[in-house]
Amino acid sequence: MKKPWVDQESCISCGLCIATCPGVFRFNDAGKSECHDPAGAPEQDIQAAIDGCPVQCIIWEND
Protein backbone atom coordinates (compact mmCIF):
# COMPACT_ATOMS: atom_id res chain seq x y z
CA MET A 1 0.00 0.00 0.00
CA LYS A 2 1.30 3.45 -0.82
CA LYS A 3 0.89 6.33 1.58
CA PRO A 4 1.75 10.02 1.46
CA TRP A 5 4.95 11.18 3.13
CA VAL A 6 5.91 14.79 3.92
CA ASP A 7 9.54 15.98 3.83
CA GLN A 8 9.27 18.19 6.89
CA GLU A 9 12.61 19.91 6.19
CA SER A 10 11.16 21.25 2.93
CA CYS A 11 7.66 21.98 4.26
CA ILE A 12 6.89 25.71 4.48
CA SER A 13 3.78 25.22 6.65
CA CYS A 14 1.44 26.77 4.09
CA GLY A 15 -1.41 24.47 5.14
CA LEU A 16 -2.65 23.75 1.62
CA CYS A 17 -2.45 19.98 2.09
CA ILE A 18 -4.37 20.27 5.36
CA ALA A 19 -7.04 22.41 3.70
CA THR A 20 -7.29 19.89 0.84
CA CYS A 21 -7.23 16.72 2.98
CA PRO A 22 -7.81 17.48 6.67
CA GLY A 23 -8.48 13.81 7.33
CA VAL A 24 -4.99 12.90 6.12
CA PHE A 25 -2.69 15.81 6.97
CA ARG A 26 -2.22 17.94 10.09
CA PHE A 27 0.43 20.19 11.60
CA ASN A 28 2.81 18.51 14.03
CA ASP A 29 4.20 20.13 17.18
CA ALA A 30 6.92 21.83 15.12
CA GLY A 31 4.30 23.44 12.86
CA LYS A 32 5.12 21.26 9.87
CA SER A 33 2.67 19.14 7.93
CA GLU A 34 2.56 15.40 8.57
CA CYS A 35 0.45 12.49 7.41
CA HIS A 36 -1.54 11.28 10.39
CA ASP A 37 -4.04 9.02 8.57
CA PRO A 38 -3.14 7.79 5.08
CA ALA A 39 -6.64 6.29 4.75
CA GLY A 40 -8.37 9.55 5.71
CA ALA A 41 -9.31 10.52 2.14
CA PRO A 42 -9.59 8.95 -1.31
CA GLU A 43 -6.33 8.58 -3.22
CA GLN A 44 -7.43 11.16 -5.80
CA ASP A 45 -7.90 13.78 -3.06
CA ILE A 46 -4.48 13.00 -1.60
CA GLN A 47 -3.00 13.30 -5.09
CA ALA A 48 -4.61 16.74 -5.40
CA ALA A 49 -2.84 17.77 -2.17
CA ILE A 50 0.45 16.39 -3.49
CA ASP A 51 0.02 18.19 -6.83
CA GLY A 52 -0.94 21.44 -5.08
CA CYS A 53 2.04 21.56 -2.71
CA PRO A 54 3.98 24.71 -3.66
CA VAL A 55 7.34 23.21 -2.64
CA GLN A 56 6.56 19.64 -3.75
CA CYS A 57 7.50 18.17 -0.37
CA ILE A 58 4.80 15.44 -0.37
CA ILE A 59 5.42 12.16 -2.17
CA TRP A 60 3.91 8.70 -2.31
CA GLU A 61 5.86 6.16 -0.27
CA ASN A 62 5.41 2.40 -0.65
CA ASP A 63 4.63 0.69 2.62
- Rounded to two decimals, the pTM is 0.93
Question: How buried is residue 49: exposed, middle or buried, by Cβ count under 10 Å (0-12/13-18/19+)?
Answer: buried
Quick: pLDDT tens for 5-54. Answer: 999 999 999 999 999 999 999 999 999 999 999 999 999 999 999 999 99
- Class of the domain covering 2-62: alpha beta
d(CA 60, CA 62): 7
Residue 6 C-alpha from the chain's centroid: 6
Nearest-5° Cα angle at 11, 6 to 12: 155
Question: Which sequence spans correspond to the domains of the chain?
Answer: 2-62
